[in-house]
Structure 1
Amino acid sequence: MLHTLKKTIPAATVAGLFALGALGVSDAQAQQIEIHNTMSAGGSEEAALQRFQEIIAERSDGRLGVDIYLGGQLGNETDVLQLLSLGQTQMALTGGAFMGEYAADYDAVSVPFVFPSWDAVEHYIMETESGEALQAAALERGNLVYLGPQMRAFRHMTSAKPINSPDDLDGLTMRLPQIPVWVDVWEELGVQAVVIPAPDIYLAMRTGQVEAHENSLASPYTRQMWEVQDYIITTAHLSFPWHWVASASWWDGLSEDDRAMVLEAVEEARQHGIAVEMERDEYYREALIERGMEFIDVDQGPFREKAAPAVERALADKADSVMGDIDAAIAATQ
């Protein structure tokens, strides 16, 4: 093809066309913003990303576009963090892995029974010295620009038997993910923790391997857990948020106006995602009740008190500012 083209068009013109073609490809790539999330379609995550996509297209007059990658299409959270660090992709709505990787000293958000409300979580990340330090560490160690948190609904217990107080947890076999601090906290409460992969939760309950598990209400709903569990205990022990992050390599190449536009789009998109998450959490509650599950709305105070020694162990090696900032975030949002 190149040989034929050179016969009919002067070499200088051919070189110019190829240069323009290369420039066009580069420009097209530069105008697209890839954004990643590990969840499948249909959740509040996708709703937020689609809103972000719409806002960017509208306010840039089509000059910028957003490509959404769901379901871990380019890898798990760790894989995408690596791509962001290397500047090989632009953005992600990621989970908490980056905090453990880059900012463990300030990560109080991943410890159960610390924050009693979403507002307190958000305040800690966005308004405290520890939150600022967390963001700075993510930039320094991971080449990540932090843009804001997005709520995931609080996690509760499901159980095959009624739980009304921490005393009812003694000896209860409970499925937990392989997160050491979570296992330690729940074992402090008296459960017998069993680490089981998420796809095996339903079978483990059906066969009696475990009597309980913890997660947001999406888990018992999507797993049809009413077939193997009778009770949901509203421990509200953790809201494990999503986080909007960008590759600093890409961010630094944006104009000041484009950075402002992206920040505004993220803020509106994450608030939309939070609203959708709250709506769906309420829907799941009503749907689970309709399917026969009984909600036990416990007094969360005794659970937090009994878990306190493990929580204190988890926070003992954090930065000096963390404990005071936790208290400040809770006080500011009560």
Structure 2
Amino acid sequence: MSIFERPVSRRQTLHGLMAGAVAAPALVRLTGPAQAATTLKISHQFPSSSGDEGDFRDRLVRRFAEEVTKRSNGELAFEIYPGSSLMKTNAQFSALRKGALDLSLYPISYAGGEAPECNIGLMPGLVSSYDQGLAWRTKPVGEEFSAYLEGKGVKILTWVWQAGGAASREKPLIAPEDAKGMKIRGGSREMDMVLQAAGAAVLSLPSNELYVAMQTGACDAGITSSTSLISFRLEELSRQLTTGRGKSYWFMLEPLLMSKAVFDKLPKAQQDLLTTVGLEMEAFGKAGAMADDAKVAEVFAKAGAKVHDLDEATVEKWRAIARDTAWKDYAAKSASCAKLIQLAQEVPA
């Protein structure tokens, strides 16, 4: 197996992509023997990693690709494009649906514009622990959501959940009352509804564009996963951090997805292999996310930021607003949305 990599620079990742330009591909080719029959492309928005260092989401994708290549004896090979170097972040879901992209590790709520049910993947206050989120896969809510996605042409291979925190340029964002008058990136339509109810102005943009938004003053605070807070170097711009370690009202589903059209064309043995390895990656994803919940506090403290943690009473304040705004709005969208959020509430915390 040979590996070739051309890393994406920080400027490409954080600046060039905002202008809509396609960066020179950060290509990682993982191939087996010369007779490899099928090469699959994996795209995601996160920075490239190296070995055991760097963004765990890129490392998860690489580990998945390496394992599938090995077990398929090279019949399946992969090209990995980190940093949205193959296509723009928000375009990836549509590309999966059309079969124009093979796989992506993708924040599922980004797809909410064309598939509203996907917004349940970042519903504030709905998921309160990693175990609760990962339990969805085997519960009715996970079966229902997986069926919905497959009806849209997308298949979940690995369930990945991440807790999130808030990085602020000046004023801390801890309780809902802190949000008043701030310009905040929340990460989903539903989170934006909660922030607006708390008195904030909101910005809608992917996490890989958050650095520039905060750097220019367009954004006062960004809520995103612990891993993204680290990977996108937001400690360079922030004096305050509210972590997601221990407790959080912000859990995002960022699964490894595959185009169902591409999946269905493969022989059953290869389908089974992709499904098996995808399931095996869930433990790695959970461990990586939880490690970054602790690491982010260290990174920001070292940079001079003041670090805050959430208690249950504060989480409940956010959840109460979410129940009255985002949860109700989502349930009213369609019968399937109402069913999904009801099933999600039945999964024990």
User: Does 2:274 correspond to 1:251?
Assistant: no
Q: Deviations over 1:106-148 (max 9, x none)?
A: 6422222221122222323x1333332322222223x222223
Among 274, 280, 283, which residue is 1:268 paired with?
280
RMSD: 3.0
Gap regions ≥5 residues in structure 2: 1-33, 50-54
- Note closer, same or farther for the CA distance 1:188–1:289 as it changes in structure 2 (3 Å cut): same
Whether the 8 Å CA contact 2:47–2:231 is kept in 1: the answer is no
Who is 2:339 aligned against?
Answer: 321
Q: Counterpart of 2:177 in 1: which secondary structure?
A: helix
**CA gap 1:214/1:266 in 2 versus in 1, 3 angstroms:** same
What amino acid is aligned across from residue 37 of structure 1 in structure 2?
H
Q: Residue 32 of structure 1 contacts residue 65 of structure 1 at CA under 8 Å; is this kept in 2?
A: yes
Displacement of 1:51 in angstroms is 0.7
Question: Which of 133, 144, 147 matches 1:133?
Answer: 144
Query: Which letter maps to 2:138?
Result: E
Distance (whole Å) between structure 1 residues aligned to residue 100 and residue 294 of structure 2: 38
Map 1:110-125 → 2, pairs under 5 A: 110-124=122-136
Which residue of 23, 34, 41 maps to 1:34?
41
**Taking structure 1 as reference, are residues 323 and 246 closer, same or farther at Cα in structure 2, changes over 3 Å only?**
closer
Q: Any conservation in 1 of the 2:122–2:188 contact (CA below 8 Å)?
A: no
Could you tell me how far apart the structure 2 residues matched to 1:80 and 1:224 are? 24
**Distance change in 2, residues 1:51/1:223 (3 Å):** closer
C-alpha contact (below 8 Å) 2:241/2:297 kept by paired residues: no
Question: 1:187-242 deviations in whole A, cap 9, x for unaligned?
Answer: 2123344567624333344xxx6543322344554565556543222462322222
Do the aligned residues in 2 keep the contact of 1:90 with 1:247 (CA within 8 Å)?
yes
Equivalent of 2:290, from 255, 269, 278? 278
Matched residue type, 1:326 = A
- Which runs of 5 or more residues in structure 1 are unaligned? 1-26
Select the structure that is richer in helix. Answer: 1
Task: Trace 1:182-193 onto structure 2 (pairs within 5 A).
Answer: 182-193=191-202
1:308 equivalent in alignment to 2:308 = no
Does 1 or 2 have the higher relative contact order (CA < 8 Å, sep 6+)?
A: 1
Contact 1:78–1:97 (CA under 8 A) maintained in structure 2: no
Are residues 1:237 and 2:249 paired?
A: yes
Among candidates 63, 74, 87, match of residue 51 of structure 1: 63
Change (3 A) 1:106 1:249: closer
1:152 aligns with 2:159: no
Query: Judging changes above 3 Å, is the alpha-carbon distance between structure 1 residues 217 and 64 closer, same or farther for their aligned structure 2 residues?
Result: closer
Specify the structure having the higher radius of gyration (Cα): 1
* Distance in 1 (alpha carbons) for counterparts of 2:95 and 2:35: 19
Distance 1:29 1:36, change over 3 A: farther
CA contact (8 A) 1:174 1:193 kept: yes
- C-alpha contact (below 8 Å) 1:39/1:45 kept by paired residues: yes
TM-score by length of 2: 0.73
For residues 252-294 of structure 1, give each alpha carbon's deviation from its aligned partner in whole angstroms, at most 9, with x where no partner exists. Answer: 2222222221112112234323322332332221121222222
Query: Residue 289 of structure 1 aligns to which amino acid in structure 2?
Result: A
Partner AA of 2:221 in structure 1: A
How many matched pairs?
Answer: 299
AA of the residue aligned to 2:154: L
Deviates more, 1:289-298 or 1:40-49: 289-298
Q: 1:16-54 CA deviation, whole Å, 9 max, x = no partner?
A: xxxxxxxxxxx9674222222122202112101111122
Letter in 1 for 2:266: L
How far apart, in 1, do the equivalents of 2:95 and 2:235 lie?
40
Is the CA contact (8 Å cut-off) linking 1:95 and 1:243 kept in structure 2?
yes
The amino acid of 1:81's aligned partner reads F
- Cα drift, residue 102 of structure 1: 5.9
> Aligned letter for 1:325?
L
